[in-house]
Amino acid sequence: MMIESFIERVWNTWLAGGWTMIPLAALGLMTYAAAVRMFLYFFQARLS
């Protein structure tokens, strides 16, 4: 199946990245959180 191939490729890339993947994952989560907060801020400002 295609999804298993994708998951295997992502997993292999994650393992090949070593310890540098941990800060990159944290940065990704912080970016996602900032985007969600900005979306909620603008949505709330539009309702006011």
Instruction: Say how far apart CA 18 and CA 37 lie, in whole Å.
Output: 30
pLDDT digits (tens, 9 = 90+) for 1-48: 788 999 999 899 989 999 999 999 999 999 999 999 999 999 988 876
In this structure, are residues 24 and 17 in contact, taking their beta carbons and an 8 Å threshold?
yes
Q: How high is the pLDDT of residue 48?
A: 67
**Residue 14, CA distances (Å) to 24, 26, 47 in order:** 10, 14, 41
Specify the pLDDT at position 8. 94
Predicted model pTM: 0.66
C-beta of residue 27 within 8 angstroms of C-beta of residue 35: no
Report the alpha-carbon distance of residue 20 to residue 39 in Å, rounded.
29
